[in-house]
Chains A and B, each alone.
Chain A
Amino acid sequence: MSNAATNEPTEVSDLDLFAPDIVADPFPTLDRLRELSPAVHLSRYDFWVLTRYDDVRAAARDWQTFSSAEGVALTPEFNERLAGSILSADPPEHEQLRAVLREKLAPRGLSAVREQIRSYADRLVDGLVERRTFDGVADLAAVYPINVVADLVGLPLEGREKLHPGADAIFAAFGPFGSYAQEHLDALISYQVWMEAMTDRAKIAPGGWGETILDAVDDGRLNRLSAVKAMSAYMTAGMDTTVNAVSAMLRLFAERPDVWAELKDEPTLAGPIFEEILRLESPVQGFWRVTRRDAEVDGVAIPAGRRVMLHWAAANRDPRHYPRPTEFELRRNPVDHLAFGYGIHGCAGQGLARLEAAELLASLLERVDRFELAGDVERRGNPIVRSLRSIPLRVVPTGARP
């Protein structure tokens, strides 16, 4: 944080950032909050929200002031459930937890599974292209990352239907216990019960991440409860995030055939397109921290012991940092976006997300000439993950007669 005097007045708003109409289109509200003040106190749920790029990035980096140890969700009830998980830890515990899967998740470790991921993408896309029309969410975006991550963890096929609804419910539970979280509570519970049962050598495939986590229990680096939490954390983090990033990309290709055509001509744009869609959509809208000491954000004082939301999605559309922030720009390549968070808690699986996107795009580029919308796109109302329920798609296969 800067050393400027803390002389900005505190802006207070009773706005409900998680009301269904705002969740449906949060950006006008986020723009207003961003212009109002560097930090606004949202009185309804008693937290502060940071929305400007430089502030969010600086706060994410400053874990000593903006701590995760008291949980990164809004409510005390859910933070209690997160206790002991990697999300809710500061160094040195955080480093110890993160080290368990570090080698497997690093791009170098992931190169061992690239072919496996590509061959799964090819099989999936072959089947869909043959059908010509399918749902971009239900048949592709919500299937592909979930099976990729479940295979990497070593989970059995039976029971996987609990995974995506469970992860969606868990992300919702990071926010207030509103109607969406309440309606999806059963999915959350059945997912957690299943993941706990799967934290067992007899249930998981050898050689996967699940086994690596259980090895860490055997040699004393993790306790049993932390192992269950680690299994759930890595599995959860790998689902609704990538599901919605892939969904947003498919929608983009259907609505902007010019983008798909340029990508066909220039396949090296795949990486920059993925980063730009992450910037623009920011599937995980934000997470919370708690101030460990009196903090100062761009002249606004936040006392110690207060909950502060780092709003990734708002930061990623800050015009101070990204010119024309609401536009999708094919060649922007925003390598410093905050959709994966930033700093010590930055998404551990971002290499996997990029690998999944790259392999899926490579597979689609070989097989699809054109995407078209075949119906209305529908959103889900998840307050924390900006998500799509349905994208009816029609594809024109490569080499098909017009």
Chain B
Amino acid sequence: MNVVVDRARCEGHARCELTAPAVYELDDEGVVSVRHGDLPPELESAATAGARACPMAALRVTS
């Protein structure tokens, strides 16, 4: 599984980071970045929860 990020859509609301800090962080520009290229299985549910919390629908978890 990995996370597809639409950086242009991200407004830095940081809901993903708050929900799943092990997966998401905001970079120096205040835009989301994903800590792992390939998600370790133990972080898959956190990644999904963090993506759901994105108010802009900028994150998509794919298998």
Chain A positions within 8 Å of B, measured between CB atoms, are 61, 95, 102, 105-109, 271, 335-336, 340-344, 346-348, 350-351
Q: Which residues on B sit within 8 Å (CB–CB) of A102? A: 11
Q: Do residues B55 and A350 form an inter-chain contact, with CB atoms below 8 A?
A: yes
Q: Which residues on A sit within 8 Å (CB–CB) of B49? A: 335
Could you say which of A95, A102, A271, A351 has the most chain B C-beta atoms within 10 Å of its C-beta?
A: A351
> B40 in the interface, Cβ–Cβ < 8 Å?
no
Q: Which residues on A sit within 8 Å (CB–CB) of B18? A: 271, 335
Q: How many residues of B contact A (CB 8 A)?
A: 17
Set A109, A335, A351: member contacting B52, Cβ < 8 A: A335
Set B11, B15, B55, B57: member contacting A106, Cβ < 8 A: B11
Can you pick out 16 interface pairs between chain A and chain B where the beta carbons lie within 8 Å of each other? Answer: A105-B11, A106-B11, A106-B12, A106-B30, A107-B12, A107-B30, A335-B18, A335-B53, A342-B57, A343-B56, A344-B56, A346-B55, A346-B57, A350-B55, A351-B12, A351-B14
Q: Do residues A107 and B52 form an inter-chain contact, with CB atoms below 8 A?
A: no
> What's the least CB distance linking B25 to chain A, in Å?
13
Q: In the complex, which residue of chain A has the Cβ closest to the Cβ of B29?
A: A108
Q: Do residues A107 and B55 form an inter-chain contact, with CB atoms below 8 A?
A: no
Q: In the complex, which residue of chain B has the Cβ closest to the Cβ of A111?
A: B30
> What's the least CB distance linking A296 to chain B, in Å?
20
In the complex with contacts A336-B53, A344-B57, A108-B9 CB distance below 8 A? no
Q: Which residues on B sit within 8 Å (CB–CB) of A61? A: 57
> What's the least CB distance linking A356 to chain B, in Å?
15
Docked pose: A344 CA to B6 CA in angstroms: 12
> What's the least CB distance linking B38 to chain A, in Å?
25
Q: Do residues B57 and A108 form an inter-chain contact, with CB atoms below 8 A?
A: no
Q: In the complex, which residue of chain B has the Cβ closest to the Cβ of A354?
A: B13
> B19 in the interface, Cβ–Cβ < 8 Å?
yes
Docked pose: A246 CA to B19 CA in angstroms: 23
Residues of B4-63 contacting chain A, CB below 8 A: 8-9, 11-15, 18-19, 26, 30, 49, 52-53, 55-57
11 extra interface residue pairs, beta carbon distance < 8 Å, beyond A106-B13, A335-B15: A105-B11, A106-B11, A106-B30, A107-B12, A108-B12, A335-B18, A335-B49, A336-B53, A340-B55, A341-B55, A344-B57
> What's the least CB distance linking B9 to chain A, in Å?
7
In the complex with contacts A108-B26, A343-B56, A348-B11 CB distance below 8 A? yes
